[in-house]
Amino acid sequence: MIEESRAPSNFIRQIIDEDLASAKHSEVVTRFPPEPNGYLHIGHAKSICLNFGIARDYKGRCHLRMDDTNPAKEEQEYVDAIKADVRWLGFDWNGHEYHAADYFPRLYEWAEKLVREGKAFVDDQSADEVRRTRGTLTTPGAPSPFRDRSPEENLDLLRRMRKGEFPDGSRTLRAKIDMASPNLNLRDPVMYRIRREHHDRTGDEWCIYPTYDWAHGESDAIEGITHSLCTLEFEAHRPLYDWYLEQIEVPHRPRQIEFARLNITYTMLSKRHLGALVAEGLVSGWDDPRMPTIAGLRRRGYTPEALRLFCDRIGVAKADSTVEVELLENTLRELLNVSVKRALCVHRPLKVVVENWEDGKVDEIEAPFLADDPSAGSRKLPFTRELFIERDDFMEVPGKGFKRLSPGKEVRLRHAYVLRCNSVTKDSRGEVTELRATIDPDTRSGNPKDGRKVGGAVHWVSAPLSKPATLRLYDRLFRVPNPGAGEADFRTQLNPHSLEILDGARIEPAVAEAQPMERWQFERKGYYVADAKDSKPGAPVFNLIVPLRDTWAKGGG
RNA sequence: UGGGGCGUCGUCUAAGGGCAGGACAUGGGACUUUGAAUCCCAUUAUGAUGGUUCGAAUCCAUCCGCCCCAACCA
């Protein structure tokens, strides 16, 4: 097995090991808490593999929790997509699906408790005033003039906020912590804001909504989460996470641990920006095969195994990091190589007439789908007088090291005969339109009897018996290694060649009936998948998943 | 110039007082009916300076660099 059944260790697993060894915990409970305001991307896959992987390896459980505290941005479509993506990745929350919104009543009760204890107050200041009085990184903030209201008044006001007596944004409930704290998150953070917004789950029951900080640790506590894993930017929120937890009575305290989020070269992993690409029509949708979303990668032809193996390989640590996209591609190829059946597909056809093959004669040549694995079966390749080969596989004036076809030279037709090019036909523009050639009849699936060496092998199809196919050649969405970095607008950094459509490709008959999502390797070219939406048996549309490595092209040849 | 983090090959990540290891990438070679795969070889790293120690990537000090925080976003 290439894929490890247990993920490699990391600093978080070490912490868990210690917690188990010291009997601080007897079981491990994690959670994956997406906000349903967009589709999951490969960065989320890292978090999913981490959280669900830990639950699997420690025989604990991992909850799927929709972090839906902000009704303005959340939709059911996203909830459904998130669940589909997590399942496709190969993980199961075993019925532990929760929503932060389900905790709204409990959160509100706890808020009243804080108010009664003088630990929270209703602030009448506007968002603008709150911002202005928060202070700066180096100077303390000024307390709100409403900070010292009595618990009775605060309780009355909070209840009226909840009942809807005040307009949106006119008041907030704030925790009373420390306006002079060097940690801005502790300068009387907002716990509730007034917002008359329909919530997908609670409807119009609430007009006040809890903030992330107030809801998250409490949700973790309610669910009995032991280790609450999140990304580095929440590090400064941990003191607040802990402060809130200290104010309420819960049987166990979850521990927040932060790790570095995933970055990948030539890739943008920002839900907001990815959403902009979709909204502005720069891609065909969240599942555009160029998108680093899980839905996009799935449609592109990536396998869940590859994504999981990749997540194991990148590791988990606290240092900011950017993984080279080559690691992702290599992981994918490594898995596809051992399992995906081979076929021949001529991308840009060039006609070859075999002069010593009589018209109408068909030789059916047996060819295995996988050279190393006879159990994968085989198919018959029809060989006829007229063939197509790849335009790139012929050069009238071959460059140094060119091993393919040129006038007077021989090349191996994969699985079939050795072919010699006799003459070249060109059109008025000097474009090569046809090759005349002869085959060596003694080389059918074998080597020349006289022991002469034939350097290259090229793929081919029968001209009359091959089938048409549409090929979508995908390349990276961005031309720059770090799109959107600094002041740059990612829209100006899109790769204009991220999609090239070839409608004139010819495939061997065995592939023409491919079912949607069926994967093939087109030899010497790359791995392809029949598009989930646009491909039909008999009218195939293939997406390039990833090209084969090409050390010839790389060497500048 | 407050607070919180982080610095190990080009990239990601191990080793946490005792041989700096792996993967990807890169270069070379072997093999090849996929210029793929496979195999072999090679290159390259502990941010800096001091200190403790028989011995420091690891402990201490100072410095340098990078990231995050001033939404009623998450």
Contacts of A447 (CB under 8 A, 6+ apart): A454
Q: Which of A271, A299, A385, A525 is catalytic?
A: A271
pLDDT 10s digits, A525-551: 999 999 999 999 999 999 999 999 999
Identify the pLDDT of residue A73.
Answer: 78
Q: What percent of chain A has pLDDT over 70?
A: 99
Q: Angle at Cα A470 formed by Cα A469 and Cα A472, nearest 5°? A: 140
pLDDT 10s digits, A140-174: 999 999 999 999 999 999 999 999 999 999 999 99
Contacts of A34 (CB under 8 A, 6+ apart): A40, A44, A66, A67, A82
b/e map of A307-324 (b: 16 or more CB within 10 Å)?
A: bbbbbbebbbeeeeeebe
- In this complex, the answer to whether residue A74 has its CB under 7 A from any atom of chain B, a nucleic strand, is no
Q: Are strands A97-99 and A120-123 parallel, antiparallel or unpaired?
A: unpaired
* Tokens read off for A213: 């900080």
Question: Average pLDDT, stretch A185-196?
Answer: 98
With a threshold of 0.95, tell me whether the complex ipTM lies above it.
Answer: yes
Identify the pLDDT of residue A453.
Answer: 87
Distance A157 CA to B68 C1' (A): 35
Residue A4 has pLDDT above 50, yes or no: no
- Check: CB of residue A469 under 8 Å from CB of residue A504: no
Which of these CATH numbers, 1.10.1160.10, 3.90.1150.10, 3.30.465.10, 3.30.70.1520, describes A263-337+467-507+512-557? 1.10.1160.10
Residue A557 has pLDDT above 70, yes or no: no
pTM of the model: 0.96
Give the nucleotide at minimum CA-to-C1' distance from A415.
Answer: B33
Provide the residue ranges of all domains of chain A, joining segments of one domain with +.
104-212, 263-337+467-507+512-557, 344-465
State how far the Cα of A269 lies from the Cα of A277, in Å rounded to an integer.
Answer: 12
Fold of A104-212: Glutamyl-tRNA Synthetase; domain 3 (3.90.800)
State how far the Cα of A263 lies from the Cα of A270, in Å rounded to an integer.
Answer: 10
Classify A210 as helix, strand or coil: strand
Closest CA to A41 of A295, A417, A244, A231: A295
Classify A383 as helix, strand or coil: strand
User: Percentage helix, strand, coil, to 5, in chain A?
Assistant: 30, 25, 45
pLDDT 10s digits, A462-520: 999 999 999 999 999 999 999 999 889 999 999 999 999 999 999 999 899 999 999 99
pLDDT 10s digits, A240-299: 999 999 999 888 899 999 999 999 999 999 999 999 999 999 999 999 999 999 999 999
Q: Which of A253, A261, A436, A444 is catalytic?
A: A261
Q: Which of A35, A129, A305, A434 is catalytic?
A: A35
To the query of whether residue A261 is one of the catalytic residues in this protein, the response is yes
Q: Determine the longest span between alpha carbons in chain A, in angstroms.
A: 103
- Check: CB of residue A96 under 8 Å from CB of residue A50: no
Q: What are phi and psi of A503, to 5 degrees?
A: -95, -5
To the query of whether residue A348 is one of the catalytic residues in this protein, the response is no
DSSP track, A21-78: HTTS-SS-EEEE---SSS--BHHHHHHHHHHHHHHHHTT-EEEEEE----TTS--HHH
Closest CA to A25 of A252, A259, A245: A252
3-state per-residue secondary structure call for A233-294: HHHHHHHHHHHHHHHCCCCCCCEEEEECCCCECCCCCCHHHHHHHHHCCCCCCCCCCCCCEH
Classify A521 as helix, strand or coil: strand
Protein chain A, residues 77-106, with a C-beta closer than 7 Å to any atom of nucleic acid strand B: none
Fold of A344-465: Ribosomal Protein L25; Chain P (2.40.240)
pLDDT 10s digits, A113-131: 999 999 999 999 999 999 9
In whole angstroms, how far apart are CA A216 and each of A73, A100, A212, A230?
17, 8, 6, 11
